[in-house]
Amino acid sequence: MKKALVLGSGFVSEPLVEYLTRESSNVTVTLASILKDQADTIASKYPRVKSIFLDVTGQPDLLSKLIGEVDIVVSLLPPALHPRIASVCIKNKVNMVTASYCLPPLAALSEEATNAGVSIINEVGLDPGIDHLLAMECFDEIHSKGGKVESFISYCGGLPAPEASHNALRYKFSWSPRCALFNTLNPAKYLKDGEIVEIPAGGALMDAIETRNFLPGLQFEGHPNRDSLMYKKLYGIPEAATILRGTLRYQGNANAIKALHLLGLIDPKPIPALDSNNALDISWRQLICQLLHHFDEISYDNLKHQLLKVFKCDMQKLDTIESLGLLDDVLVQKMDSPLDTLSNYLSQKLAFGENERDLVALLHEVQILWPDGSRELREINLIAHGEPGEIKQKGTVGPFTADIYQPMLNRLRGEGIVAETKSKFL
């Protein structure tokens, strides 16, 4: 039997463990997490799984021992920990997979990994991941026929199914709430008609919204996601004048997120009122008052009036704060910073309920110039509801070549995850 080490016991871990331990599988799993109770719960549901407590930063010897005992490591931990884990994988000559972007500290290990004969595969989740697979398959087909990619615009998102999306954010958390919220503070840059467009950090992403309504009855909006410029080289489309990769949400999400930004609720810096060790008990309403610099108790109606001033009379923003329970006299579970406190609260408030489905929505818009001078606009849509030995490349790599993306697409299609392509000539 093959042996896999899965690091982390968050939202994404259980579906992976379920996949690895199916009857047709020949894999045993060690699930290692600093949250042992969570790991125990997952392990108890599936065969051939054992759970173990592991602090990746504080137990380097145990980390090395566990990695040395397996055939592959899947890290579902925060990206900042991946270089540390990858270094241990390289020393033990064990391959590693992550769903995260390949950030510079991890990319710097590529030569060392190559020399050790180790593959470190990154960006193979949903976004980044499945979006890459479908894009590369399309680009390779275009180039094989002599065509050129003039424009590539892509939006992708993991969302609640429409019937489960009735809340202020039009969103529920199927992965780390902290990451999802913090990502709205990221900077971004993309290429539009040959010009570089840059969006500064701090929340300006929520002002860079484009409407995308490609499914009947559903209204989406999207914003740019990180650095799209690097994909000109990674995708092998130097001819493209427009390249934008973005995040997809239901319409109204950005305005709701802006309400949280304006109140400082997505600030990652600790504040005295939320000191988990020393601060006095505080309710959500009292916290909002303090964030507005009203340190004396004010009435509910007066607080709403003050919020409307901050929101410039935008009732949707006020409804967001009110419907999320952030004006209630419920005690806050203090987590030091507004971001961590809100993330913890929303992980419960906006968790998926029993029998609620999630949904993956992806849209690629590819404009093609063919050798005969004709132009084609091709749309690749993917909508999906929730219900070894093939990769030869070594080093830190992503799914940008056919030997990597094609086996993954074949597996996805075997799971019933199939994209739809529409095309029209311009």
pLDDT for residue 388: 36
For the stretch 64-108, pLDDT in tens is: 999 999 999 999 998 899 999 999 999 999 999 998 888 889 999
Choose the weakest-confidence range: 35-49, 66-80, 129-143, 222-236. 129-143
- Please count the helices (runs of H) and the strands (runs of E) in the chain: 15, 16
Under 8 Å between Cβ of 364 and 384: no
Backbone φ and ψ for 286, nearest 5 degrees, come out as -65, -35
Across the range 361-374, mean pLDDT stands at 95
Across the range 287-295, mean pLDDT stands at 89
| Angle of CA points 405, 411, 414, to nearest 5° | 140
Across the range 278-288, mean pLDDT stands at 94
Across the range 352-377, mean pLDDT stands at 91
Tokens 């997490």 label which residue?
33
Q: 80, 78, 93, 61: which is closest to 10 by C-alpha?
A: 78
Which residues are registered as beta bridge partners of 359?
Answer: 159, 385
pLDDT for residue 392: 43
Across the range 348-357, mean pLDDT stands at 87
Q: How far apart are CA 99 and CA 122, in angstroms?
A: 6
Q: How confident is the model at residue 3 (pLDDT cuts 50, 70, 90)?
A: very high
Higher pLDDT, 84 or 362: 84
Q: Tell me: pLDDT of 394 over 50.
A: no
Q: Tell me: pLDDT of 275 over 70.
A: yes
Q: Where are the domains of the chain?
A: 2-122, 130-257+354-385+419-425, 271-336
C-beta neighbour count of 163 within 10 angstroms: 9
Across the range 419-426, mean pLDDT stands at 70
Q: How far apart are CA 266 and CA 264, in angstroms?
A: 6
CATH 1.10.3720.10 for the 2-122 domain, yes or no:
no
Backbone φ and ψ for 343, nearest 5 degrees, come out as -60, -45
Q: 266, 254, 247, 248: which is closest to 343 by C-alpha?
A: 266
Active-site residue numbers? 127
Give long-range contacts, CB 8 A cutoff, 24+ apart: 103-109.
Answer: 103/79, 106/79, 106/82, 106/396, 107/396, 108/83, 109/83, 109/396
CATH 3.30.360.10 for the 130-257+354-385+419-425 domain, yes or no:
yes
pLDDT above 90 coverage of the chain, percent: 71
pLDDT for residue 10: 84
CB proximity list for 3: less than 8 A, separation 6 or greater: 27, 28, 29, 30, 69, 70, 71, 72
pLDDT for residue 403: 64
Higher pLDDT, 139 or 295: 139
Across the range 260-268, mean pLDDT stands at 96
Q: Tell me: pLDDT of 175 over 90.
A: no
Q: Tell me: pLDDT of 405 over 80.
A: no
Domains 2-122 and 130-257+354-385+419-425 share a fold: no
Cα-Cα-Cα-Cα dihedral sign, residues 32, 61, 91, 102? positive
Q: How confident is the model at residue 387 (pLDDT cuts 50, 70, 90)?
A: low
Grouping H, G, I as helix, E, B as strand and the rest as coil, residue 325 is: coil
Higher pLDDT, 396 or 371: 371
pLDDT for residue 399: 56
CA 96 to chain centre: 19
pLDDT for residue 415: 60
pLDDT for residue 419: 67
Q: How confident is the model at residue 414 (pLDDT cuts 50, 70, 90)?
A: low
pLDDT for residue 65: 97
For the stretch 5-48, pLDDT in tens is: 999 998 789 989 998 998 777 999 999 999 999 999 999 999 99
For the stretch 152-164, pLDDT in tens is: 999 998 899 899 9
Under 8 Å between Cβ of 123 and 129: yes
Please provide the average confidence, as pLDDT, over all residues in the chain. Answer: 90
3-state secondary structure 338-394: HHHHHHHHHHHHCCCCCCCCEEEEEEEEEEEECCCCCEEEEEEEEEEECCCCCCCCC
Backbone φ and ψ for 257, nearest 5 degrees, come out as -65, -35
Q: How far apart are CA 254 and CA 205, in angstroms?
A: 9
Q: Tell me: pLDDT of 314 over 50.
A: yes
Which residues are registered as beta bridge partners of 377?
Answer: 367, 424
pLDDT for residue 391: 36
Q: Tell me: pLDDT of 215 over 90.
A: no
Q: How confident is the model at residue 176 (pLDDT cuts 50, 70, 90)?
A: confident
Backbone φ and ψ for 277, nearest 5 degrees, come out as -105, -35
pLDDT for residue 420: 66
Q: How far apart are CA 411 and CA 20, in angstroms?
A: 13
User: CA-based Rg of the chain, rounded to a whole angstrom?
Assistant: 23
